[in-house]
Structure 1
Amino acid sequence: MAHIQLPEFEDMSPEIQKRAQPILEKTGQLGDIFKLLALDEKIYFATDGMIQKYLLDETTLSYDTKESIALLISLENGCKMCVDVHKGIAKMLGMSEDRIEEVLHGVDAMNVPESEKALLNFCIKASGKENYKILKSEIDALKAYGYSDLQILEAVSITGYFNYINTLSNVFGLGES
């Protein structure tokens, strides 16, 4: 049970209801994070824009890499709700069950190139309290693996997005029975 009162569909603004209707029709329910964000249109639409642009649109990183970041950062932040939600989204975006299980066991358990492990470990470090200690040499190491400035920016943006969503979920007790 969330720590604050979450709105039901009929209590949401008409603009948010318009966005929620297809989700309701497809899944039969709205998740707690959707309801929490629906408390304020500005927060909802700003957050929705990030999820659309970072995760659902085609970008310089593959869906597989983006969902791996989502799962790893959510695990790192102890956000069970986000891990559960992104297991489903990862499947929807084409990630195999085996790959999802690898990710859930951590970067070292993943059967991916060293370059991808380096990017994922960098994202975990970037998600922490001591991210201000990241050095230019660490970014240069990712570039040496072939990552562009844009890909590194995108990976860190997704990392920051999940710190944000995980914080909302954890603070407000979302997804807890």
Structure 2
Amino acid sequence: MAHIKLPEFEEMAPAIQDRARPILEKTGKLGEIFKLMAVDEKIYFATDTIVQKYLLDETTLSYDTKEAIALLVSKENGCKMCVDVHKSIAKMLGLSDEKIENILQGVDAMNVDAKEKALLNFCLRAAQKDSYKIVKEDIDAIKSLGYSDVQVLEAVAITGYFNYINTLSNVFGLGE
């Protein structure tokens, strides 16, 4: 039960209702995080833009990598709701139950190459409160594995997004 009142569909701004209607028709419900965002139209649309442009659109990182970041950072941040949501999304994207469970066991348990593990470990480090300790050499090390500036920026932006959304979910008691 959320710690604040979450709006029902009928209480949402018309612009948010327009975005929510297809989800509601397809799934029969709106998730708590959607409802939380709908409390404030500006927050909703700012957040939705990030979701659309970095998580749903095709980008320089694969969907598998983006979902691995989502699951790893959300687990690290103790966001059960986000882990559960992204387990489902990962399944919809074609990740097997075994692959999802390996991700949730941590980077070392994953069956991916050393390059991917390095990027995921870098993202976990970037998700920490002491991310200010990351230096140019750390970024250069990731780039030396073949990642471009755009890919590194995208990975860190997705990491930052999950720190943000995990914080909102955790603070407002979503998924409890």
Q: Same fold (TM over 0.5)?
A: yes
**Alignment partner, residue 125 of structure 1:** 125
SS, match of residue 102 in structure 2: helix
Alignment map for 1:12-161 (pairs within 5 Å):
12-161=12-161
5+ long unaligned stretches in structure 1: none
Tell me the distance in 1 between the aligned counterparts of 2:92 and 2:19. Answer: 19
1:89-126, Cα deviation, whole Å (9 max, x unpaired): 11112222221111010000001000000000000000
* Corresponding letter in the other structure for 2:112: V
| Aligned sequence identity (%) | 76
Confirm or deny that 1:7 pairs with 2:32.
Answer: no
SS, match of residue 128 in structure 1: coil
Confirm or deny that 1:173 pairs with 2:160.
Answer: no
RMSD: 0.6
Q: TM-score, normalised by structure 1?
A: 0.98
* Corresponding letter in the other structure for 1:130: D
Query: Which range moved further: 5-14 or 89-98?
Result: 89-98
Query: Which range moved further: 91-100 or 4-13?
Result: 91-100
Tell me the distance in 1 between the aligned counterparts of 2:54 and 2:94. Answer: 17
1:133-153, Cα deviation, whole Å (9 max, x unpaired): 011111111111100000000
Displaced runs of 4 or more, over 4 A: none
Tell me the distance in 1 between the aligned counterparts of 2:46 and 2:35. Answer: 14
Q: Alignment length, in residue pairs? A: 176
